[in-house]
Structure 1
Amino acid sequence: MRERDDPEVIGRRVQRLRTQRGLTQRQLAEPAYTPAYISTLEAGRARASDEALRHIADRLGVAFEELAVGRPAHLATGLRLRLTEAQRVLADGRAEEAATQYAVLRAEAEAHGLGCEQAAALLGLGECALETGRLGEAREFFEQAEERLAGKTLPERVPALRGRAVAHYLAGELRYAVYLLESALDELNRGGLHDPDALLLLYASVIGPYMDMGAHARAAQAAEFALALAPQAGDPALIARMHRSVARTLLAEGRVAEADASLAKAAELYRQLQLRTELANCHWMRGYVCAQNGELDRAEAELRQAHSMLSETRAALYRSQAAVELADVLHRRGKSQEAAGLLEGVLGDFSSERGAVHAAAAHRLLGIIAEDARDTEAAEEHYVRALSILERAGAAGDLADLCRLLGDLLRRTGRTEAALDAYRTGLGHRTAPGTTTLGPAPAQPPL
């Protein structure tokens, strides 16, 4: 952020404003200074003190800031209000409209040297890019926000760092996402930087990658810390996100009623805050919980609602991920044709670099549907593609089950050696639960 413009720039600014107001140099100078001093200042040959600039600003009827750096009065306040409005547009599910607003605000903040507001606009652009599935752009925006906040404390940098980690996670880079989040947690906890909001944001964000990597013990511990931190946190949207993440660990531990209650709390907060995309994601998660608990009719209703809401908000990647969960429930309810059609419709939205875990899930389900239709060739192709994606992403949580499916298929088609290889691969992932993260667990928060 600029402290003061050069004397020549300030001199031209003083002369322009004085002329606009029809004042002479004597009128501007009196009673504290001389016309000669004003003349020297306007020519850029003198560096005015803060006291002199405040006198001149008062005579000209402008803010000190406007003379010193050319920033109109109340610009920062106005920008912050408009940033809040853009955030509201994004929360309503209008990511593209919000991105346009954030881009304008970023340019204005940059032009006037407002570093914090520029970082906030970059964070908004990153969130918009995440919602619309442009993961490369999202990563760049979050990296730029981190650069603007380089001189700030770690708690202030956490939202940008967390955004970058989520972009890597959605791109299938699970290990690196966990590394970023764990490193920040370790630094916060070891350094005594006990910021409840920053810690809660990191713990809520690391649960998903932990679960997909098969590190269920780490996920459960992160959920435990998040729940303990929640009463100290001040952001209700953050608390709602935490409840949504924690539900996944509760479900993995068989605590279905608690998972459902956690999601009910999240949904209520999202409704109060009118966060449309987050509310849709909450319906999606409730559908997932119901499906795991065998309540397939309720699961289908929740997932259809989530898919419909995400389609309206144009949250492309999230919509496609919800479609995979819905297709799984439809298949289990005997609606395999509809499920296959839904999967074929969204498969193009995924790749090993974009929604990797759900890309693999889509191929796995299409393989199962193909097997049911006795098309073993297509089934094997889908299983192999799913296996490749999961291995590249390090998503050990689903690899063992997929290897079993592939092994069974190979055995039924007479390829015993290949089937044994598949089973061995699956057993290798099954024998080391919770050991897939990088290094020791991060330091614990001082609860």
Structure 2
Amino acid sequence: MTDDEPLGARIKRLRLDRGLTQRDLAEPRYTRAFLAAIEAGVRVPADETLAHIAGALGVDPGDLRHGRPADAAGTLSDVLAEARRELSRGRTAEAAEKASSVALRARRYALPELQCRAVHLAGDVALHTGDVGAAIEQYRTAKTLLGDDEVTLRAAVVAREAYCLQIAGATGDAIALLETELRAVRAAPDPDPDALVRLTSALVYTFLELDWRERARRLEREALPLLPRVRNREWLAQFSVTVAQLRRDHDLADTERLLGEALAIYTSLGLTREIGICQWAHGYVLRRVGRVREAADRFEQARTILLEVGAVQDLAGATLELAEALRLDGELDEAERLATEAAGICHRTRHQECMAEADRILGRIAGARTPGSSDADQLLSRAADRYAESGLVAELVTTSRLLGEQRRAGGNVEGAAESFRRGLLAAARLPEAGSP
């Protein structure tokens, strides 16, 4: 079958290929004259008529109507899977080309689910390279292609859209989007486990960013019984990586187990970027329990992988984590260099939280060198404002305290009091924010 061949001509070609006359194909249900009119393009066959013709020709009715080659859906799905691996390995141009090609063919062949997956992948390519605006446009376009029964795919698209909103500083909108979708999936007679776990992972990640750890743990407990029924292994690995970051210092063995399981899955799937994310998550946990040097090693490994595959957003985040670990270890010059490098990436991609984190690290370094300096004041003030704009209340509390201490060290008692007051007012909102 050819892509632009008229339906009537397609039927005629297939009939002749099989050595059939018009009478052979039409009878006993239809007349030869009726089939001749269809082949000439004068009549458009109804679904029932097309099913009869397709059955006689030995082809799928949908393939016949839309000119789809045999197993077009399977072939295009395989192309998308390969493109997904290429993107994770940093071959963005190849992944983008395949996504575009599949989207066009899926549209031509009337395969909306595959078209949606291709557009979703195009969004992932944009996000991988740091173009958050283009990514969110692709994800929103993908949602318009979904039918009511495409619950699993919709969960994947919504999760990525929410992540983009969070990057842009609209954390509240991201949470509302995820919670609305999660409620809708839960309300179904037989809730889809893959969709539930994908949305849960996204919400747990967002709650971690807000330091809403009890809410995140509740979500984890609710999702655990679903895991044996989840079909998408990548999403299982993603869940493990996300909830591993909830573990405390006495749970490090469990952290190692979860990250080891995720690493094994990502390795088997050939997903290089995700292996880097595992290293990043491991470093995050180690730094929180005070094992700073080991954390720095993990962040360095993550940074190397993410730099190699060109994952811009992730590279900036891992670089900031490494900078903070080095600051804690007293390596101020290298920490400053890395934080400045990450700040440049964050400004280009407009990642609000990372911009704030870069300012805070650089402000603490400036303050360590010259307590109460104007540079430290300016950087920490800007970090506090950015955290406030992004709705990251716990980070605002921490930054306000650091700014107050810097101002007090410089003799600015009134400014210190103002900053401490801002932190206290923000802290008063934490119990409300963390409630169910």
TM-score of the superposition, structure 1-length normalised?
0.87
Alpha-carbon separation, structure 1, partners of 2:59 and 2:195 = 38
Alpha-carbon separation, structure 1, partners of 2:278 and 2:358 = 21
Say if 1:181 and 1:206, in contact at 8 Å, map to a contact too.
yes
Between 1 and 2, higher relative CO (CA 8 Å, sep ≥ 6) is seen in 1
Number of aligned residues? 431
Query: Counterpart in 2 of 1:297?
Result: 293
Determine whether 1:261 maps to 2:232. Answer: no
In structure 2, do the counterparts of structure 1 residues 38 and 256 end up closer, same or farther at CA, with 3 Å as the change threshold? closer
Query: Counterpart in 2 of 1:87?
Result: 84
Provide the secondary structure at the position in 2 that maps to 1:207: helix
Determine whether 1:399 maps to 2:399. Answer: no
1:21-65 CA-to-partner distances (Å, cap 9, x unmatched) read: 898756765787654333332344434355654565577676543
Determine whether 1:165 maps to 2:140. Answer: no
1:250-270 CA-to-partner distances (Å, cap 9, x unmatched) read: 23x864443343223322332
Long gaps (5+) in structure 2: none
Say if 1:256 and 1:293, in contact at 8 Å, map to a contact too.
no
Determine whether 1:139 maps to 2:125. Answer: no
Q: Which amino acid aligns with 1:381?
A: Q
Cα root mean square deviation, aligned: 2.8
Provide the secondary structure at the position in 2 that maps to 1:350: helix
Alpha-carbon separation, structure 2, partners of 1:21 and 1:265 = 53
Say if 1:399 and 1:426, in contact at 8 Å, map to a contact too.
yes
In structure 2, do the counterparts of structure 1 residues 248 and 28 end up closer, same or farther at CA, with 3 Å as the change threshold? closer
1:85 CA displacement: 1.8
| Among candidates 70, 74, 81, match of residue 71 of structure 2 | 74
Alpha-carbon separation, structure 1, partners of 2:158 and 2:423 = 34
In structure 2, do the counterparts of structure 1 residues 63 and 288 end up closer, same or farther at CA, with 3 Å as the change threshold? closer
Provide the secondary structure at the position in 2 that maps to 1:249: coil
Please say which of residues 217-226 and 153-162 is displaced more in the overlay. 153-162
Query: Counterpart in 2 of 1:338?
Result: 334
1:226-251 CA-to-partner distances (Å, cap 9, x unmatched) read: 33332332222212111111122223
Query: Counterpart in 2 of 1:4?
Result: none
In structure 2, do the counterparts of structure 1 residues 62 and 323 end up closer, same or farther at CA, with 3 Å as the change threshold? same
Say if 1:106 and 1:117, in contact at 8 Å, map to a contact too.
yes
Provide the secondary structure at the position in 2 that maps to 1:365: helix
Alpha-carbon separation, structure 1, partners of 2:252 and 2:8 = 70
Long gaps (5+) in structure 1: 1-7, 442-447
In structure 2, do the counterparts of structure 1 residues 303 and 418 end up closer, same or farther at CA, with 3 Å as the change threshold? same
Provide the secondary structure at the position in 1 that maps to 2:350: coil
Query: Counterpart in 1 of 2:184?
Result: 187
Determine whether 1:273 maps to 2:278. Answer: no
1:284-305 CA-to-partner distances (Å, cap 9, x unmatched) read: 1111111222222211211111
Determine whether 1:309 maps to 2:305. Answer: yes
Alpha-carbon separation, structure 1, partners of 2:150 and 2:18 = 44
1:121-173 CA-to-partner distances (Å, cap 9, x unmatched) read: 11212222222222111111111111111433544421111111111122222
Say if 2:88 and 2:309, in contact at 8 Å, map to a contact too.
no
Query: Counterpart in 2 of 1:152?
Result: 149
Query: Counterpart in 1 of 2:346?
Result: 350
Alpha-carbon separation, structure 1, partners of 2:26 and 2:190 = 50
Say if 1:204 and 1:226, in contact at 8 Å, map to a contact too.
no
Say if 1:214 and 1:436, in contact at 8 Å, map to a contact too.
no
| Among candidates 371, 377, 384, match of residue 367 of structure 2 | 371
Q: Which amino acid aligns with 1:399?
A: L
In structure 2, do the counterparts of structure 1 residues 270 and 71 end up closer, same or farther at CA, with 3 Å as the change threshold? closer
1:70 CA displacement: 2.6
Query: Counterpart in 1 of 2:383?
Result: 386
